Amino acid sequence: MVTAIIMLSVEKKHINQVAEKLASIEGLSEVYSVSGSYDIAAIARVQTNDQLSETRYATPCSN
């Protein structure tokens, strides 16, 4: 199993919305709000590196 930690910078007003959308994506097992340079940390768990590179995690938010 391959595990990746994905760090995201998000506009403050969208943090909750983005975190909820990320939590619903298959392959993302955990989503955390963090402090510092990034706002969200997401943990992806897939079987192979190829699956990780093929998976699209983009979750655009509407204003």
Q: Averaged in consecutive runs of 10 residues, what is the pLDDT profile of the chain (63 residues)?
A: 94 94 89 96 91 65 50
- Predicted local distance difference test score (pLDDT) of residue 26: 83
- Predicted local distance difference test score (pLDDT) of residue 54: 74
Domains, the chain, ordered by start = 2-54 (3.30.70.920)
Residue 14, amino acid? H
- Predicted local distance difference test score (pLDDT) of residue 27: 85
Q: What b/e readout covers 19-53, taking b as 16+ CB neighbours within 10 angstroms?
A: bebbeebeebeebeeeeeeebbbbebebeeeeebe
- Predicted local distance difference test score (pLDDT) of residue 16: 94
pTM: 0.79
- Predicted local distance difference test score (pLDDT) of residue 61: 53
- For the chain, how many residues are written? 63
- Nearest-angstrom CA–CA distance, 38 and 48: 26
